[in-house]
Each structure stands twice: as C-alpha cells, then as structure tokens.
Amino acid sequence: MKNSTYDIVMRDDDFVVYENGQAMHTSQGNELAHSNVRLLRMAITDYSSEHIYKSFPLKLVSQLCDTIAMKNEIAFDISNDPLISIFQEKNAALLTDDIDFAILNFIFLNSSSLASSFKNYLLKKDENQTDEDFITHDLKGISCNKQLCIQALSEQNGGGVLIHFLLLNGYISIAEYAASVFILKMENIQLSAFKNLSSISALLEPIARTAQNTIDFLTICRGENQITIIEEIIKRGEDNQTEFKSTLRWDIRQNKKNPAIEHAALKSICAFLNSEGGDLLIGVRDDGSIEGIETDKLDNDDRFLLHLWTLIKTCMGQEVVEWVKTTLQTFGNKTVCRISCQKGKNPIFLRQKGFDEAFYVRVGPSSSSLDISSALKYIDLHFQN
C-alpha cells in the first residue's frame, strides 16, 4: 500500500478511483465509483495514509457503492437491542467487582446521560405505539445513506443499532457515543482489568474516530456539499475536450438573439462528435464564472432544452441523439447546461440555415472547419468501418 499511487478519474457521469493504474473494486466486485468526488477523496485520503483507522471511510464508501449497484435494502432487528435492556437490574452485577472509583463514576454518569437521551427520543412516539414499533418506523424513514452508516457502525463498533441511530440524529455527542458503546458492551468486558480511566480511553478513541468519520461522510453526502461533475469540468478549464459558452442564443453585447451565437455552440458540438468527444458547458463564461442559461431568456429549463435539442437535431441530424446527452445543474439562482458528446460513429456535418455547410473538428481548445479535401482525408482516417 505504501508504494501504491491513487488517482480519481472523471467519467461521463461519475468518478472512479484507480490504484496503480487499475480501477479499484469493492469486496462485492463493484467499481469504487460515485458521482460525488468528495466522498472518494475522503475514502482514499484516509486509506492511503498511515492512520490506524484508515479502513473505515473506505468501508463506508465501498458499502455505498454496493448498495447503489445492487439496490440492497437494509433491515434492522431491534428486538434484542442492548440499549433497551441496559438499564435493567441484570446489568447491575457488572459493577460489583473491585473497580476503580473513577471508572464507576464514568459508567454511572454516562449511563445517566444515555438514559436521558434515549427517553428524550422516545417522547416523540404516540401513546398507542410500542417502543419497538416507533423505533422501527423511524429507522425505515431515514435516508439510505444514514441507514448505511448505522449498519456500518454496528458492524464496526458493536452495541446494537439504536445507539448509532441516536448519534446520527443528534441525540448524543461523539464523546457520549463512544462511552455509551463501551457501556453497552460491558457484558463482554472484564472491568476489573482496567486500572484507571486512561486504560478505557484507549478503547474509546477508535470508537470516537469512526463516529467522526461517519458524520463527515454524511456531511459530504448532503447535496449542497457535493462537488459535481460540472464543477470539476469548470475547474479543469477549457481544453481540447472542454469548452465554455456564456449563452446558447443571446448576444450579451447587443442584448438580443443572434443566430451566430447558436452557430458557435453547434460548431463545438459538431467538432466534439467528429473528434474524441467532449463537454460543452452553456451558462459558463470563459473565465469559469457562472452566467446561467437564464440569460437566454427562455421561459424555463424545459423550454431551454427543447430549443437546444431542436437545434441539434435540425442542424446535425436525428442520429446524433445517440451520442449526445444533456444535464442541468443549478448554482444558486443560475443554471448551467452540460452537453456531453461521445465520439460519433459516423462523420457529422453542420447544416444551419444562414450558414455554409461545414465539417468541424477539435484543434486544441477550439473548433475548426476543414476544407473538402482535408475533411475527406480526416473522415477516411477516423471513421473507418
């Protein structure tokens, strides 16, 4: 692992992690890939370090990849959850050993906090609900990402299910969580082996670490905190496979519709199809700042896409639909349109009313037309059946 090199490669719809030039896979055989690049960075940064807890963020992301790929449903069994029984008299016997007073104090204080937090949570249930029905209903209602985290924490730290649910829903802090997991597992712990609180702290540290990793994971999962494909494209800047256009049809300088602006966008699409593919972002200025497709003064996103697709199919033919995909993303009150183009299987000519028919290809960061003889040679080299 020390000699491994890692890379996160952007694809059409997501990012995939590579280790030593090979795509990484989960234990279930699914690619370690996701549309949220921050999740992958979190996992690999931790995994490639020398940190003793490095496997847990990668475990979370791997399980997320498996859940998405296999559409797994997570079911929880709380019938024997230790949190429900921890305050019963049967656990009192655990504290009769010859134990340091500070440890006893630690257990009683944290048990009291845990009991209060759990009772506070149960106050939300209806009078006619049993505790188990109420909790089961709540578990089913949380997000898939949060369910996944509860499952992973339960596997990693033990302590049943409910203690992890209380953590991720804000009923207990990370410090309280670590202490509570320890208390919930006391039946399997010889307390007399601990001479002081410092010896217990060594067990609490990895529990707290996994809790923090999980909360970080959920924070990055939130939509407003994701780094998306479009943001990564903007950060990459314009090149032979990337181009930005402020608008689709609106001439900002003349403050009116201009077919030449449409022609410039269509040239880029045509050139990408005739070359190695690429992305055209509409609503992004040359410097990478956001203009927004709203400047094109079409009524809504649907009208914008209808206008765009009408242009594409009218000027380049119905067949290009197979090789072109459009997506929209909102940045505040501005929207960017990504036009993702694959390399076409056939040569594409641009035929727009009011302009000469032309064959375009990418030359560096721009689109250039080829004369007839050059176009024929290019087609013969790049579109051989």
Distance CA 266, CA 274 (A): 12
Mean pLDDT in residue range 26-40: 91
CB 268 within 8 A of CB 275: no
What confidence tens digit (pLDDT) does each residue in 90-125 have? 444 444 456 677 777 888 888 889 989 999 999 998
DSSP 228-295: PHHHHHHHH-SBTTEEEES-SSEETTTTEE-HHHHHHHHHHHHHHHHTT-EEEEETB-TTS-B--GGG
Assign a CATH topology to domain 237-382: 3.30.950
Question: Average pLDDT for residues 126-140, to the nearest whole number?
Answer: 90
Model confidence at 198: pLDDT above 90:
no
Quick one: pLDDT at residue 190?
63
Q: Which residues of 160-187 are buried (b: 16+ CB within 10 A; e: fewer)?
A: bbbbbbbbbeebbebebbbbbbbbbbbe
What integer is the mean pLDDT of 9-31?
Answer: 90
Residue 150 · residue 168 · CB < 8 Å: yes
Inform me whether the pLDDT recorded for 369 exceeds 90.
yes
pLDDT at 322 over 70: yes
pLDDT digit string (tens) for 34-87?
988 999 998 888 777 655 456 788 889 998 998 888 777 788 888 888 888 765
Kindly state the greatest CA–CA separation across the chain. 95
Give 385's pLDDT tier (boundaries 50, 70, 90): low
Which region among 221-235, 329-343, 352-366 has the lowest average model confidence (pLDDT)? 221-235
What does the block give as tokens for 166?
């209380």
Find the length of the chain: 385
Residue (of 239, 280, 270) closest to 363 by Cα position: 239
Find where tokens 């010889």 sit: 190
- Delimit the domains of the chain by residue range: 6-72, 82-225, 237-382
Is the pLDDT reported for residue 199 higher than 70?
Answer: yes
CA distance 153 to 171: 16
Report pTM: 0.75
Is-contact 218 146, C-beta < 8 A?
yes
Burial of 281 (0-12, 13-18, 19+ CB in 10 A): buried
- 291 versus 11: the higher-pLDDT residue is 291
* pLDDT at position 171: 95
Q: What is the pLDDT of residue 54?
A: 60
By the 10 Å C-beta count (0-12 exposed, 13-18 middle, 19+ buried), 248 is classed as buried
- What is the average pLDDT score of the chain? 88
pLDDT for the residue 92: 45
Is residue 262 within 8 Å of residue 321, measured between CB atoms? no
Q: What is the pLDDT of residue 183?
A: 86
Q: What is the pLDDT of residues 342-357, one digit of tens each?
A: 999 999 999 999 999 9
What is the signed CA dihedral for 100, 103, 108, 113, rounded to 10 degrees? 170
In the chain, pLDDT over 90 holds for what percent of residues?
A: 61
